[in-house]
Amino acid sequence: MIDGILSFSIRQRWLVMIGVLVMAAFGAWNFTRLPIDAVPDITNVQVQINTRAPGYSPLEVEQRITFPIETSMGGLPNLQNTRSLSRYGLSQVTVVFKDGTDIYFARQLVNERVQQVKDRLPAGIETAMGPVSTGLGEIYLYTVEAKPNALKTDGKPYSPTDLRTIQDWIIKPQLRNVSGVIEVNTIGGFEKQFHVLPDPAQLMAYKLSFREVMTALAANNANVGAGYIERNGEQYLVRTPGQVANIDEIKEVVIGSRNGVPIRISDVADVREGQDLRTGAATLNGEEIVLGTAMLLIGENSRTVAQRVAAKIGEIGRSLPEGVIARAIYDRTHLVEATIATVEKNLVEGALLVIVILFLILGNFKAAIATAFVIPLSMLFTITGMFENKVSANLMSLGAIDFGIIIDGAVIIVENCLRVLAVEQQRLGRILSREERFETILAGSKEVIGPSLFGTLIIAVVYLPILTLTGVEGKMFTPMALTVLMALLGASILSLTFVPAAVALLVTGRVSEHENWFMRGARYIYVPLLSRSIQNRGIIAFTAAILVVVSG
């Protein structure tokens, strides 16, 4: 079979070149779609269940919320483990599934169990699942700040409450519409609220209870529809808008009446603008700030999405109130670009070094060109494999590629083809005809293709145990092994097809087999050293054994 592939590649060399060109174009297209990140995402498949429970102590949260939710998750398909956290006013249950579980299938399973357990939770408790993101999903952090001496339209300086309101009502809704952003989290500042503070003495005087105040506020803060009226072919909607908009309207809410005199909120309570109770804050350089975090949707390209968020922040900044700015303090794009620059530098320098050595050793410009092309072509083949297997381009996946190993098989084939061509020309005493040249190249390729592929297989086998790793180790090192294996596979395919076809196309005319100055210098150093090593083989073997022991 291998001999048939070699013969076909040489005879149908132009067809092989067209196929390689198509493969290269497909790889270049996949490169534009390949996810790029700094490091592999080692987060496991997990779903978080967050429950807000204002006023509940950690013990009450654990007993009445966390425990029922966590125990209800038992028996889910592909469930690996669960863990929980109970704090003042907050319950968080994390459900971890086995690797490979579809995240949306896992969320559906969790949501079904949450619906079943809701009847066992305290009334008024709201439970929600966390965003479809990972531990490395924080791709963009920004602050909402007021410039020094900046004032609002009423002449007052901006307060933390004002900045938090701008974040929640202006910036956050627009960022949520950015493609690839699944959530925007906010910390810092104070959430604006209207507080109604009843006076117990006034309530007792009017013979009212706290519950009546709460009921009146809820009943008078809703719109009521009353159908419609048809007239002259037109439809008029009848509705009663009842939502309160400011403190004065809250004060005018009627609770009841005594002797025909209405009793309003202002008669029994003080109404003022207040703030939500919070359990954390954000600071920058010792100053409290409002911090926003854009979360990445699982599977999205972090570099591309971070660029979209940065562009959107710039656009939003032009619509913010005068004196307020949104400033980036962390942009994943910078980290990814620095990482990619490191990888690019290493790959380019490695490729150039290998190509230079090729020209020095082979001594045949056309043969060196054919061999050097294996490097970019195998990389394009690898990129296609990475895209199809959902392996992102990062420091781990691309940093392990060794171009010397990749072109090892191609060098052996080209060198042997040059040798047999030179020997055959010397034997016949003339330049070979096209058919004779093809037969000679085929014979030279057959002679070394077996050892070449076997050597590549040995290198590939070294990486196979890495594919068996699981957990964090598997997520960290499996992309590296897959990338190297795909590169070796691409190089092997090119050695079977492209290299013989390229030699058949490029290596024409008279071929001379002689050592160039570089190889003569290497031989001048190597042959005496080899001779002395053989003469003193016992000492060499003992020294090598000692080095192995010391290294161990």
Global pTM reads 0.74
Residue 279 scores a pLDDT above 80? no
Per-residue pLDDT at 368 exceeds 90:
no
Residue 440 in 3-state DSSP?
A: helix
Q: 466 — alpha (psi -120 to 50), left (phi > 0) or beta?
A: alpha
Q: How far apart are CA 49 and CA 261, in angstroms?
A: 49
Q: What integer is the mean pLDDT of 40-47? A: 86
Alpha-carbon distance of 326 to 141, in angstroms, equals: 10
Contact (Cβ atoms closer than 8 angstroms) between residue 306 and residue 331: yes
Asked whether the predicted pLDDT for residue 58 surpasses 70, the reply is yes
Reply yes or no on whether the pLDDT at 83 is more than 90: yes
What does the pLDDT read at residue 514? 63
* Mean pLDDT, residues 16-25: 92
Give the least confident one: 53-62, 118-127, 424-433. Answer: 424-433
**Quick one: average pLDDT of 38-56?**
87
Mean pLDDT calculated for residue range 148-174: 89
Query: What digits encode the pLDDT tens for the residues 287-304?
Result: 888 999 999 998 888 888
Instruction: Evaluate if residue 509 carries a pLDDT over 80.
Output: no
Mean pLDDT of 491-515: 80
Radius of gyration of the chain (CA): 36
- The mean pLDDT value for 69-83 works out to 93
By DSSP bridging, strand 90-97 and strand 45-52 are antiparallel
Tell me which residue has tokens 């060198």: 415
pLDDT tens string 163-213: 999 999 999 999 999 999 999 999 988 888 888 889 888 888 888 888 888
- Kindly state the average pLDDT of the residues 443-467: 86
Q: Supply the pLDDT for residue 381.
A: 92
Whether the predicted pLDDT of 40 surpasses 70: yes
Within 13 Å and on the Cβ side, how many CA atoms surround 57? 2
Nearest to 300 by CA among 379, 390, 388, 389: 390
Q: Is residue 81 predicted with pLDDT exceeding 90? A: yes
Check pLDDT > 70 for residue 61. yes
Alpha helices for 236-277 (secondary structure H): 247-251, 265-268
